[in-house]
Chain A
Amino acid sequence: MAISVKEHIDPVSESELIEIELFLQAIHMKFGYDFRNYGKAHIRRRIRHRMVASGFSSVSEMTHKLLYDSFFYQEVLQDLSITITEMFRDPEFYKAVRNEAVPFLKTYPFVKIWHAGCATGEEVYSMAILLLEEGLLNRVQIYATDFNQIALQKAKEGIYPIEKIREYTFNYQKSAGKSSFSEYYNALYGSVKMNESLKKNIVFADHNLVTDGVFGEMHLVICRNVLIYFDRDLQNKVINLFYESLIPGGMLCLGSKESLLFTDKATAFDTISEKEKIYRRKFIK
């Protein structure tokens, strides 16, 4: 047999695409989580990763396992949800929040903040620390939400691996932190536990941006590095959800590579910081 001829396989054969669509459809029908409007390149990567890790030869084989094995389903759900984050991720962003958003928040007697897609909570605690240092924490209510229950549980516990602390401390300092980062946690047995006092105004709750509704009367909505996983239609839908959730003049913070540009609310917000993606809902439509 000649082996010099290259195999001309097209790995995204039409059939595989169909298999992936059916897999996502099965998740939606059986469990109510809808990944059908996620960016396909990313979803494909995650699904193939699971396929290889669990020793399947096709996506269809996995669909069967998914439907009849709830333990496997939990694994798939974790695969499809992004929980990679860090404290004070993008320090310049937090600096911008201090300088641009905090003065505005200070004008209200009580402040409601929605942190959508909070994953394991690192960025929620970062915001709580910032608000504490700005003297605002005792008059805010932070709603930290995610659809991933396992991640949400970790967020509630606020326990993180100690090896991350160097990086977090570096980020904190770069973000113009006013104190010493070690003030905010206790180290024990290879982990750090965030201070209980940071949690007292945080409510952790299950919320799915794809299928659930509006959170009312927010002064600040933070949703960073979530929209990049959505296709344009879903991005548009979620930006509308944020718009409806904000008071007029309320602020919206997105991830550094996300923008309102392609959404139909592009002109309904003013830009506070283009670089750090901080926007403000206009007072008049």
Chain B
Amino acid sequence: MNYKAVVIGASAGGITALGKILPRLPLDFALPVLIVQHISPNSDNFMVRYFDRLCQLKVKEADEKEEIRPGTVYFAPPNYHLLVETDFTISLSVDERVNFSRPSIDVLFESAADAWCSHLIGIIITGASSDGSKGLRRIGKCGGLTIVQDPAEAESYMMPESAIKIANVDKILKLNEIADLLLQIHQQLRRDN
């Protein structure tokens, strides 16, 4: 499959879990990675700085109107929704909370599905929320690849379980298997191009 982007939704336990995926992606990772991690509206950019130190990839807070590039990890800023435009630039919004969350995973996933359609990989990992389930369902309906962390492994099983219930998910995997799969896809894309 000709994938063009990865979106990840994480909530409670997400920082530890992302720490098992993101550092394994190589500097020349073929896809952009956009992430909504639920976080307090008052937090600073510690998470971005932390992952930027930990990862080979460039990790940054998503900027308004920014062009989305491969090999970069974009985090939604605290207290803003992150949306993808169909010209593959970033939009931010302070629209009302969705599923009690701003940023909301559904908002990112649904707009990303509009932009990348079947070329999108959507991943839901640990969290005590149902945010992201509808978004993942939309990604699936558009023909994208839908992946959920195995609830048995997740620090909080609710979000993965909710996603499995609502979306017709392609794969239920452990974190190290998610990282393996992303690396396989990366290598495949590098071979094809």
Q: Are B86 and A84 in contact (CB under 8 A)?
A: no
Q: Digitize A217-233: 1 where CB-to-B-CB distance is under 8 Å, 0 elsewhere.
A: 00000000100110010
Residues in B with CB closer than 8 Å to A46 are 95
Q: A11-B142, A39-B83 are in contact. Are A229 and B93 (CB under 8 A)?
A: yes
Q: A12-B86, A41-B84 are in contact. Are A6 and B110 (CB under 8 A)?
A: no
Chain B minimum-CB-distance residue to A85: B94
Q: A6-B140, A40-B85, A258-B64 are in contact. Are A82 and B117 (CB under 8 A)?
A: no
Q: Which listed residue, A7, A45, A84, touches B110 by the CB 8 Å rule?
A: A45
For chain B, give the interface size range.
20 to 34
Chain B CB within 8 A of A200 CB: no
Residues in B with CB closer than 8 Å to A44 are 111, 114
Q: Are B86 and A39 in contact (CB under 8 A)?
A: no
Q: Are B64 and A82 in contact (CB under 8 A)?
A: no
Contact residues, B119-149 vs A (CB, 8 A): 138, 140-143
Chain A CB within 8 A of B74 CB: no
Q: Are A11 and B113 in contact (CB under 8 A)?
A: yes
Least CB distance from A73 to B in Å reads 20
Q: Which listed residue, B65, B95, B115, touches A84 by the CB 8 Å rule?
A: B95
Least CB distance from B108 to A in Å reads 10
Q: Which listed residue, B86, B111, B115, B143, touches A8 by the CB 8 Å rule?
A: B143
Chain A minimum-CB-distance residue to B107: A45
Residues in A with CB closer than 8 Å to B138 are 11
Chain B CB within 8 A of A42 CB: yes
Q: Are A6 and B143 in contact (CB under 8 A)?
A: yes
Chain A CB within 8 A of B77 CB: yes
Residues in B with CB closer than 8 Å to A257 are 63-64, 77, 80, 92
Least CB distance from A54 to B in Å reads 17
Q: Are B94 and A228 in contact (CB under 8 A)?
A: yes
Q: Are B140 and A82 in contact (CB under 8 A)?
A: no
Contact residues, A73-97 vs B (CB, 8 A): 82, 84-85
Chain B CB within 8 A of A196 CB: no
Residues in A with CB closer than 8 Å to B111 are 41, 44-45
A6, A85, A229 pick with most chain B CB within 10 angstroms: A6
Chain B CB within 8 A of A1 CB: no
Chain B minimum-CB-distance residue to A227: B64
Q: Are A228 and B91 in contact (CB under 8 A)?
A: yes
Least CB distance from B83 to A in Å reads 4
Residues in B with CB closer than 8 Å to A183 are none
Chain A minimum-CB-distance residue to B63: A257
Q: How far is the CA of A41 from the CA of B113 in the complex (A)?
A: 11
Q: Are B95 and A41 in contact (CB under 8 A)?
A: no
Q: A6-B140, A9-B141, A10-B117 are in contact. Are A228 and B92 (CB under 8 A)?
A: yes
Q: A11-B114, A259-B64, A262-B65 are in contact. Are A42 and B141 (CB under 8 A)?
A: no
Contact residues, A183-208 vs B (CB, 8 A): none
Q: Digitize B37-61: 1 where CB-to-A-CB distance is under 8 Å, 0 elsewhere.
A: 0000000000000000000000000
Q: A6-B143, A11-B114, A84-B96 are in contact. Are A41 and B91 (CB under 8 A)?
A: yes
Residues in B with CB closer than 8 Å to A84 are 94-96
Least CB distance from A123 to B in Å reads 12
Residues in A with CB closer than 8 Å to B115 are 12, 41
Chain A CB within 8 A of B156 CB: no
Q: A6-B140, A7-B141, A11-B113 are in contact. Are A40 and B95 (CB under 8 A)?
A: no
Contact residues, B84-110 vs A (CB, 8 A): 84-86, 91-96, 107, 110
Q: Digitize A22-40: 1 where CB-to-B-CB distance is under 8 Å, 0 elsewhere.
A: 0000000000000000011
Q: How far is the CA of A7 from the CA of B107 in the complex (A)?
A: 22
Q: Are B86 and A40 in contact (CB under 8 A)?
A: yes
B63, B83, B96 pick with most chain A CB within 10 angstroms: B83
Q: How far is the CA of A45 from the CA of B83 in the complex (A)?
A: 10
Between A and B, 14 residue pairs with Cβ closer than 8 Å are A6-B141, A10-B118, A10-B142, A11-B138, A39-B93, A41-B83, A41-B85, A41-B86, A42-B93, A45-B95, A82-B95, A228-B92, A258-B64, A262-B65
Across the A-B interface, the 6 shortest Cβ-Cβ residue pairs: A41-B83, A8-B143, A12-B114, A41-B111, A39-B91, A225-B94
Seed contacts A10-B117, A85-B94; 13 additional CB < 8 Å A-B pairs: A7-B141, A8-B118, A10-B118, A11-B114, A12-B114, A12-B117, A40-B85, A45-B110, A45-B111, A228-B91, A228-B92, A255-B94, A257-B64
